[in-house]
Amino acid sequence: MNKMKPKNRYFLIATLLIVVLATLGILRFTVYYGQSKSKHTTPPTVATALTPSQKTNPTTSVNPIASACNCSWAITSSTSVEFLVISPSGQKTGFMQSTQSYVSEIPDASYGPESGIANDTGQGSPSAGFLYFGMNNAENGKYELEVIGKEGGKYHLDISFAWGSENGKQLPFDGTLDSGQVDKYTITFPEGIVQKVNN
């Protein structure tokens, strides 16, 4: 029987913990969304129960500020990068590379580092922390995502979507950035389509 080397075992445990933390983050926003939705006494003025397979009618003019999907989404990554998310209406949340500062303009969104999970046995170090962006009630339309390299090397993103409490998906993306270099993505709602933009 092959024994797993301790280094490989810790890597596997850390990887599993990151997946669990990302899932918990998605659940946190799904639960929050469900609680905030139940507080409304009047019906919302947006379409309900949209799924990833539903498309908007291209002949219909949609005001993205007045129209939101019944969804939440999140991005997780290692802390070797920063994010800047720009909404269809131009609001920004995340790290502004031009000013080396943070901005939080998008309603119902949060951004920042999350700490790793400590090892209860005391025999290993805590899992690595990760960077997190999460949002409920996304505007219909196209969001821009800038992934900014803090240190040179590879990065991995998990972009997760939840429509209501039962439908969801998670999409992985990998890239390599030098310090200060930027990769750009677009995220389209209500469909939950992610595309990397060639720089």
* pTM to 2 decimal places: 0.63
Tokens matching residue 95 = 């790290």
20: phi then psi, degrees, rounded to nearest 5: -65, -45
- 185: in domain: yes
What pLDDT digit, counting tens, does each position of 22-80 carry?
A: 555 554 544 444 444 433 333 333 333 333 333 333 333 333 344 677 789 999 998 88
pLDDT over 90 at 117, yes or no: no
Alpha-carbon distances, residue 40 vs 20, 35, 37, 109, 153 (angstroms): 31, 9, 6, 19, 45
**Residue 75 domain boundaries:** 6-55+64-197
The answer to whether 189 touches 139, Cβ cutoff 8 Å, is yes
- 114: in domain: yes
What pLDDT digit, counting tens, does each position of 74-103 carry?
A: 999 988 899 999 999 999 999 999 999 999
- 1: in domain: no
The answer to whether 179 touches 150, Cβ cutoff 8 Å, is yes
In the chain, the N- to C-terminal Cα span, in Å, equals 49
- Report the pLDDT value the prediction gives residue 58, as an integer from 0 to 100: 32
- Report the pLDDT value the prediction gives residue 3, as an integer from 0 to 100: 55
- Report the pLDDT value the prediction gives residue 161, as an integer from 0 to 100: 93
- 21: in domain: yes
Assign 165 a pLDDT band (cuts: 50, 70, 90).
confident
- 16: in domain: yes
What pLDDT digit, counting tens, does each position of 174-194 carry?
A: 999 999 999 999 999 988 999
Q: How many CB atoms lie within 10 A of CB 20?
A: 12
pLDDT over 50 at 170, yes or no: yes
- Report the pLDDT value the prediction gives residue 156, as an integer from 0 to 100: 93
The distance of Cα 49 from the centroid of its chain, to the nearest Å, equals 20
Work out the mean pLDDT of the chain and round it to a whole number.
Answer: 74
- Which amino acid, 77? S
Number of domains in the chain: 1
